A and B are shown apart, each in its own frame.
Chain A
């Protein structure tokens, strides 16, 4: 087992609505990522994937509030710090975040070099302009971006180029953890491939030590990450290696998700997609038993009223369900 770079332990965060209601969007999430590994997070919209990403940065703004839990990056606990301290010492060097709509992340009136200056000067206010430019040029060249990009405005770049620029700028200080929240879902397939290739390159050259990749595109996760973890209603329901999760999902929710995979390969045509009926529960009042019981076709009364035995997701395989692996596999066979 390699060195653990990121450890999240029992993280709980909530949103407070304007009617002062609490929505527990991330509710007791624990996992670890080792050095050089990437972890994918899958799940439906509204199951807390993006909130998990925001919470992990330790950068809390209303309506998002921190409740409890630890986020440990390379032995350093960053949870519960003041947002200003987080911005000056953590973001960019320890952890970097790539949002989905990178096109909107760039101010259209500024040149790209200004964003690089912003990132570097947030940590070192006295950094020299010339040095910054040299540093940016070398890094851009290594990642296959032309250095002319630095003197362009965001509007002059295509969508794929903008996303790659955002990735290059946000990782310029070689953060230990990169959180990518649907970095390619607004792009066409060829640009998506380039973005993924660039992220691989970052990992291989050691500019980032580990990656958390969030998306609902399962074939993409399967190809990009080492492990996949499935989230539902603010909690993790299953974790395993990419191959195990796609071809042999255990939790009924993961099984349902894998049934919605669409790929242009022989044999996918003619089968019926299995969609999970219903919608995720309202997290203002989470159900008392298993959160998936309402939509699960194997749920019993025990599932609905008694909480699920807690499972750890530190390493290897783990899932949260009352039923045993054999029972579930048998049930899927008869479907």
Chain B
């Protein structure tokens, strides 16, 4: 517990991903739902950013837009300072070399018909390692697995469903380690694993950032977790960022009412958990 991790200031590093007036509207006319409402953001290189909000606040919609899985209704997203162009499939694949994701449910993010070897081999091939010798590839896979405390010798020839949830999530990080993208988008990667594996995964993400200097965008509903892990925190409510800034400033001295409520709703260990803030009545 005594060991501390060095925290650098990333606000002066070059911009990696930024957005201007990014909006997503679902439906038309009366059924219109504004999921993300004119948000602006600047994510710097090497920065660990958290986006915190409750269910329904538009976190996942925003992450899908960042990944280019759905189109924006309005506004633009800039990748490394230039407007990103993902109009064709080829351009999209090119963009995905720079941005990768880890999703919430480890059990559904792997193809059940592919062995673990082929999951990792795909990554090496995608990085242009197709012509490498088999020994070299095995060496790279072993290195990636040992980075996340897995043993490649035990995993080879196994299928992903033979692993536990925590192990699968770690394997996902091993994939990212091989791909070395500029940006990693992690959408609640720890909400389906227990507290102990969660600690391991979080430390691995921090190691990954320190080792490769990638930007990590971490989407979560757990404000305690966001405080521990991130440099910058964005608080999202009803599709808008109600507050953002350095983690220490936002969490220890919240300004927005929503942030204050989120913090008071989390059980703590050094101060009393005030149950009187919620009323037992109809929603």
Contacts and interface: CB of A to CB of B under 8 A. Distances in A.
Contacts of A261: 195, 269
B53 to A, nearest CB: 9
A203 interface: no
A189 B271 contact: no
A268 B271 CA distance: 14
Given A189-B54, A219-B268, A264 B224 contact: yes
Contacts, number: 146
A194 B278 contact: yes
A188 B281 contact: no
Nearest to A247: B269
Chain A, interface size category, equals: 35 or more
27 contacts: A45-B165, A143-B280, A145-B280, A146-B282, A188-B54, A189-B266, A193-B265, A193-B278, A197-B278, A217-B195, A219-B269, A220-B267, A223-B273, A256-B196, A257-B196, A263-B266, A263-B268, A263-B269, A264-B268, A265-B271, A269-B228, A270-B5, A271-B2, A272-B203, A273-B228, A276-B196, A335-B2
A197 B195 contact: no
B164 A45 contact: yes
A196 interface: yes
A301 interface: no
A304 B196 CA distance: 23
A193 B275 contact: yes
Given A158-B283, A193-B265, A275-B200, 8 more contacts: A219-B266, A219-B267, A259-B1, A262-B222, A264-B263, A271-B1, A276-B196, A279-B164
Contacts of A224: 267
Contacts of B268: 219, 223, 263-265
Given A197-B278, A256-B196, A262 B224 contact: yes
A19 B7 CA distance: 52
Contacts of A146: 281-282
Nearest to A271: B1
Interface stretch (B31-39, B67-75, B106-114, B244-252): B244-252
A274 B265 CA distance: 25
Contact of B225 (A143, A159, A216, A262): A262
Interface string B164-208: 111000000000000000000000000001111111101100000
A335 B3 CA distance: 9
Given A190-B278, A194-B278, A260 B196 contact: yes
Interface in B215-235: 221-228
Contacts of B247: 269
B55 interface: yes
B221 A272 contact: no
A47 B114 CA distance: 29
Contacts of B4: 270-272
A40 to B, nearest CB: 12
B270 interface: yes
A296 B135 CA distance: 35
